[in-house]
């Protein structure tokens, strides 16, 4: 997480320093007039503003006074949460409860943490596009639709009457681990990249994606096909009066993170000989945000009426409490991370691209870990997609239980009392430990079983793994 420096999520829970309180006080007082019934201190020597309140125990109306430091409304009473819900982004004003001060809450910064693959020459861009096409073809065997976050940048013009510059940079992201940033102002659009953009089977997503596609067509005479606009998808999911969502507002709404848009970078020279580290990070984060927000929106049900949005209010779920990892039939590690957090060694393991993490719905689990702990889990393989690749026929959304029964004729216990229990308890019960370990072991074991099966070579219905002995 970055916000003017390196921070951890725990930083939001630390006590305010006097210097921070001073800054909050100054902003607070500039936003609201002093209450008429409370005198303000005239002393300029004290670093912290103070006020005098009559003692509550002084019923005689005497001059007994108590000196108190006025706390900012942001940490007053019921508003002491380290991060307010996204629907309430204002500091509470204790003097004028009906008129909240307009001080926007800062959320953790969203940033792409994977590998940025930068290309600028014709051969480099051609190679990058071929890699992407190969990845797309592989994924088509596992999922119904391949999703690509797509965005473009061009050098701005600050004079009226002057036509826009050509698209200078195109960034494409299809997973949390890799983002391709192509400096097409120098390379143009070679054949492989043209094929990728014109491919109707890989969906390109973004906010205002149709406008980006029109500019690419105008500048390079290429029709980008299979587009989905995130703003329209968000309105479909949230219901209510349709809005024109920006990438930043949608990021804040869905995952309570701030999408940085520094003008110095956004309005900088995208036609430079080589992009700076800051420009690469900016471009990659935008494409990754498009991909990530699409995944988040697709998990939400469609709105069925014109109700105002009642979903995605930034506080729908608790943090991940337990993480279990199993790599053989003899050992399973159950880590109670709600108490420990994710230390560096565990972070390194999760971000290691050489150890494949498997499970049903593993991408959703990875998104939640990213949202809760700002860690990108790399090298994922979904067992449902792998099962469809092996069984053939009409693709299905396999659950862990149905896949266990299908492959090895065993029942995977999912007792509601344990599954829906308190995973944040001081210590996990024996039953919880067994449940968690069994789930991780099942993921590992089913993967081993699936990998022994041949890939389906046609659209036949599954004729394998029928549990017949």
Question: In this predicted model, what pLDDT tens digit does every residue of 430-444 receive, in sequence order?
Answer: 999 999 999 999 999
Tell me whether residue 227 is exposed, middle or buried, using C-beta atoms within 10 angstroms of its C-beta: 0 to 12, 13 to 18, 19 or more.
middle
- Name the fold adopted by 323-451: Nucleotidyltransferase; domain 5 (3.30.420)
Closest by CA position to 152, among listed 116, 179, 181, 126: 181
pTM of the model as a whole = 0.56
Instruction: Please give the Cα distance from 209 to 294 (Å, whole number).
Output: 13
Q: Is the pLDDT confidence value at 323 over 50?
A: yes
Helix (H, G, I), strand (E, B) or coil at 351: helix
Q: Is the pLDDT confidence value at 158 over 90?
A: no
- Domain borders along the chain are 1-106, 115-298, 323-451
Q: Is the pLDDT confidence value at 305 over 80?
A: no
Evaluate whether 169 touches 145 at the Cβ level (below 8 Å): no
Q: Which whole number is the average pLDDT over 19-39?
A: 55
Confidence tier at 151 by pLDDT (50, 70, 90): very high
Evaluate whether 432 touches 421 at the Cβ level (below 8 Å): yes
* pLDDT more than 70, % of the chain: 72
pLDDT at 277: 95
The class of domain 115-298 in CATH terms is: alpha beta
Span 106-130, pLDDT tens digits = 678 899 989 999 999 999 999 999 9
Q: Which residues contact 43 (CB under 8 A, 6 or more apart)?
A: 50
The yes-or-no answer to whether 115-298 and 323-451 have a common fold is yes
* Residue the block writes with tokens 């593993």: 362
Quote the DSSP letter at residue 426: S
Q: What is the DSSP string of 66-111?
A: EEEEPPPGGGSGGG--SS--TT--SB--SS-TTS-B--PPP-PBP-
Confidence tier at 87 by pLDDT (50, 70, 90): very low
pLDDT at 413: 87
Secondary element (H or E) of residue 448: helix 430-451
Q: How far is CA 126 from the centre of its chain?
A: 30
CA atoms 215, 220, 224, 230: torsion sign? negative
Evaluate whether 362 touches 378 at the Cβ level (below 8 Å): no
Q: How far is residue 225 from each of residues 217, 272, 451, measured CA to CA in Å? A: 11, 29, 34
pLDDT at 335: 96
More confident residue, 377 or 37: 377
Q: Is the pLDDT confidence value at 206 over 70?
A: yes
pLDDT at 152: 97
Span 209-249, pLDDT tens digits = 999 999 999 999 999 999 999 999 999 998 888 888 999 99
pLDDT at 35: 47
């Amino acid at each position: 997480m970055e916000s003017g420096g390196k921070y951890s999520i725990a930083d939001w829970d630390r006590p305010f320093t006097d210097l921070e309180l001073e800054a909050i006080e100054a902003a607070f007082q500039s936003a609201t007039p002093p209450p008429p019934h409370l005198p303000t201190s005239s002393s300029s020597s004290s670093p912290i503003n103070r006020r005098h309140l009559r003692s509550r125990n002084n019923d005689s109306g005497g001059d007994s006074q108590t000196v108190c430091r006025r706390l900012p409304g942001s940490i007053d009473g019921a508003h002491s949460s380290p991060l307010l819900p996204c629907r309430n982004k204002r500091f509470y004003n204790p003097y004028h409860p009906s008129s909240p001060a307009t001080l926007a809450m800062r959320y953790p910064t969203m940033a792409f943490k994977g590998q940025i693959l930068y290309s600028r020459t014709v051969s480099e861009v051609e190679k990058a596009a071929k890699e992407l096409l190969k990845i797309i073809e592989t994924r088509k065997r596992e999922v119904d639709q391949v999703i690509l976050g797509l965005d473009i940048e061009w050098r701005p013009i600050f004079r009226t009457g002057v036509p826009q510059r050509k698209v200078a940079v195109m960034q494409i992201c299809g997973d949390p681990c890799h983002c391709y940033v192509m400096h097409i102002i120098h390379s143009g659009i070679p054949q492989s990249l043209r094929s990728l953009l014109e491919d109707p089977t890989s969906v390109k997503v973004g906010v205002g994606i149709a406008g980006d596609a029109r500019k690419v067509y105008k500048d390079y005479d290429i029709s980008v096909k299979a587009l989905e606009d995130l703003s329209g998808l968000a309105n479909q999911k949230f219901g209510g009066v349709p809005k024109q969502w920006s990438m930043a507002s949608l990021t804040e709404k869905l995952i309570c993170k701030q999408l940085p848009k520094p003008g110095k970078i956004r309005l900088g020279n995208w036609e430079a000989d080589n992009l700076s580290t800051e420009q690469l990070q900016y471009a990659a984060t935008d494409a990754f945000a498009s991909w990530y927000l699409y995944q988040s929106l697709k998990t939400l049900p469609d709105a069925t009426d014109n109700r105002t949005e009642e979903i995605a209010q930034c506080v729908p779920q608790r943090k991940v409490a337990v993480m279990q990892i199993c790599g053989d039939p003899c050992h399973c590690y159950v880590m109670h991370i709600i108490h420990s957090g994710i230390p560096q060694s565990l972070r390194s393991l999760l971000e290691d691209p050489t150890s494949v993490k498997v499970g049903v719905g593993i991408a959703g689990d990875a998104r939640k870990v990213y949202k809760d702990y700002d860690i990108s889990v790399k090298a994922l393989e979904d067992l449902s997609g792998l099962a469809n690749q092996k069984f053939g026929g009409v693709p299905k959304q396999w659950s862990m239980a149905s896949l266990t029964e299908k492959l090895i004729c065993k029942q995977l216990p999912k007792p509601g009392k344990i599954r829906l229990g308190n995973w944040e308890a001081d210590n996990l019960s024996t039953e919880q430990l067994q449940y968690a370990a069994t789930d991780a072991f099942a993921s590992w074991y089913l993967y081993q079983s699936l990998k022994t099966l041949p890939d389906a070579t046609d659209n036949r219905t599954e004729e394998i793994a029928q549990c017949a002995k």
